[in-house]
Amino acid sequence: MKTLMMIVLLAMAGVLIAVAGDVRAAERPFKKATFAGGCFWCMEPPFEKLNGVITVTSGYMGGTTVKPTYENYAAGGHLEVIEVVYDPARVSYQQMLDTFWRQIDPTDAGGQFVDRGHAYTTAIFYHDEEQRQLAEASKKALAASRIFAKPIVTPILPAVTFYPAEAYHQDYYKNNPLRYKWYRSGSGRDRFLDAVWGKERNKGIAPRPDRSELKKRLTPLQYKVTQEEGTEPPFDNAYWNNKRAGIYVDVVSGEPLFSSLDKFDSGTGWPSFTKPLVPGNIVEREDRSWFTTRTEVRSRGADSHLGHVFADGPKPTGLRYCLNSAALRFVPVENLEKEGYGEFRKLFTK
């Protein structure tokens, strides 16, 4: 009898846990992301494949007309876009940015592939300040990677009213597979993307810059630290005692990483920070080298080794991001606009 009762109680507990999990999932706030990448038929599939994406809807954004249709959206100045509803606990906005860049030609200001005109141009429409910063940093990192020889012209714009497209446009690739494959094959999109990205096309992060090129661009110490997980000497590096106002960017990609506003003297002889400037540009990984377990810190765009993070820092975060100066480049506050980091200037004018 006791055994039977225990089985019943365990079963009931399992049901309660499952229900609680479902409730938490239902209460978890979803977010929106909006991208213009030319033909919206072609933009739906790659985002629907991402784990954590809830829905992808084709539609129109950016014009002046109300309730545009497929017949008049272009005349009203709208772009073809997709609106992605996603669970930020399962997929990050940075992952979606990485996916977005791999679907388009970001150097084409006149359309996308066979489709020409403003209605088919590219854009990232941000829904909050964090998305704007991540999008700006991602665009900058893509430009610094030199994957494209021409300038990146995709604008980053505030999201406005989204108008869903007609029902027959939704999931077009599923509902009309033959016509979709015929169109996609003839559009030139896949040929272009395969030529640019190759095997990296469907990966979740940007490809690392060519190492032979990096050896030419970086000093031996910068290369050893960023590409071979090296460590520079304490108290004998560029920024451990730097007290100037400004930001620190990745020496390889230029993506913004940390701010002097969050820098403190840790007494270790390496530049230390309480938090990242753009959290989405930081990747943390378990590091079991040196007979201990630590948390390594890397940059997302260039995948550079930066240093480690420890839970012995000051308030408000209690964290210490202990970094190598050789992995960083300092941009003083007076040069932020000139070097393309003007969006961070307001942080130093409060």
**Per-residue b/e over 173-193, b at no fewer than 16 CB within 10 Å?**
beeeeeebeebbeebebeeeb
User: Cα-flanking dihedrals φ and ψ of residue 205, to 5°?
Assistant: -130, 160
Taking phi over 0 as left and psi of -120 to 50 as alpha, with beta for the rest, 221 belongs to alpha
In 3D space, the residue among 281, 280, 284, 277 whose CA is nearest the CA of residue 330 turns out to be: 277
**304 contacts 253 by C-beta, under 8 angstroms:** yes
**83 contacts 43 by C-beta, under 8 angstroms:** no
**Cα distance between residue 301 and residue 142, in whole Å:** 8
Q: Helices 177-187 and 189-197 meet at what angle, rounded to 10?
A: 60
Q: Which residues are catalytic?
A: 39, 322
Q: Tokens 């040069």 sit at which residue? A: 335
Q: Tokens 């906005």 sit at which residue? A: 93
The one-character DSSP state at 235 is T
Token pair listed for 294? 């630590």
Q: Tokens 């854009």 sit at which residue? A: 123
The CA angle 215-218-223, to the nearest 5 degrees, is: 70
The CA angle 229-230-234, to the nearest 5 degrees, is: 135
**Cα distance between residue 140 and residue 305, in whole Å:** 19
In 3D space, the residue among 96, 165, 89 whose CA is nearest the CA of residue 127 turns out to be: 96
3-class DSSP state of 286: strand
| H/E element, 32 | strand 31-37
Distances (CA, A) of 10 to 7, 23, 66, 107: 5, 20, 56, 59
